Amino acid sequence: MKYLLSLALLSWVSFQPAPVYAQDGPSAADRATARRLGTEGQVALKKGDFDTAADRFERANDLLAAPTFLVRLARARVGQGRLVEAYEIYRKIIREGVEADKPEAFKRALADAKLEVKAVEPRLAWISVNVVNANPNDVQVTLNDAVIPSAALGAQRPVDPGSLRVKAKAEGYRTSEVEVQLAEGEHLPAIEMRMVALPKAEPVPIARKEPIMDENGGEESSFMSQSTLGYVTLGAGGAGLVVGGITGLLAYSRHQDLVDTPCAVKEGNHCYVLDPTPGKQEEAQQTEKEMNTFATISTVSYIAGGALAVTGLILLLTEPEDPVTTAAIPTFQPYVGFGTIGAVGSF
């Protein structure tokens, strides 16, 4: 019975459909697209359109990696003058090799790579870049705007022949830049990028007002000395007196104008004119108004100017003497006493 069950189970498993697994590698559509791109690249390569050829071969190899696409991509890079990239593509084909069961076209591509790399290698130019006066790890060095890793500084580096611009920059240093022209196969001496430190900004000193010493030798801040304040106050008082004098003269002049005006009725300084000419009464009233205004300004200016002048004089007369200055001036005073005569002083 067990034998019959096992045989039935084996028969059932044998007739089950095989499971469908995900397909490895590029799809059929990708393969067809890669072949089409390869054909377009080959046409462009024969025409000398190296930019188009490099684009097509690179995309074809991304879809379907094959040494046949890579060797043609290397040839396009040589045509573009990008010898370093071509050299590395050839080396990649040689390094990975081709298995024995691969198509004959792959084996021919490997043989072509071994032959063509020997023609490209002598055409490479070589340089080395050293950073001087700064830590190389703190400096960014670029070659035609491509960054050179700090680990590669000081080492021989392959470059494409032609015009090269080396630039080095770092915080706190002036940017250093060098331009060179290299021929195919040329080996330049080491390029030294000398870094010059930028001058450090010195702190701006803050002006400090010297304090005034008080009687006890302590420091006392003061906006201005008493003598300066006295002179300023005295000057303001003088200006007030001058204004009072000028406005007083103007008030007196307007008063004389009113005196000379014939009046029908006169009440104090108010005058009612006899002249019937239109505007004469208004003119007299304006003269009277100006006289009163100038008289008021004159009075106020005299009072304020006098007060300021007196205050200024008091400040000047009561200013304490500088003990240092006083001690430095020699004094001499004679005296006469009962049976004595002499003098006292300080020097």
pLDDT in tens, 102-151: 999 999 999 999 999 999 999 999 999 999 999 999 999 999 999 999 99
- Cα 256 off chain centre by: 72
**Average pLDDT in the chain:** 79
Measure Cα distances from 296 to 247, 252, 258, 271, 307 in Å. Answer: 9, 12, 17, 20, 17
Most confident of the following: 104-108, 224-228, 232-236: 104-108
Question: What pLDDT band is residue 211 in, cutting at 50, 70 and 90?
Answer: low
pTM surpassing 0.75? no
List the structure tokens of 167. Answer: 């630039």
pLDDT-above-90 percentage for the chain: 48
303-312 mean pLDDT = 79
Question: What pLDDT band is residue 50 in, cutting at 50, 70 and 90?
Answer: very high
Identify which has the larger pLDDT, 12 or 321: 321
Q: What is the pLDDT of residues 180-198, one digit of tens each?
A: 999 999 998 899 999 999 9
pLDDT score, position 173: 93
Please choose, from the candidates 152, 133, 156, the residue with its C-alpha nearest in 3D space to the C-alpha of residue 141: 152
pLDDT-above-70 percentage for the chain: 71
Measure Cα distances from 325 to 13, 254, 329, 330 in Å. Answer: 125, 54, 7, 10
Q: What is the pLDDT of residues 261-302, one digit of tens each?
A: 665 455 555 555 555 566 666 777 777 777 788 788 888 877
Is pLDDT of 324 > 50?
no
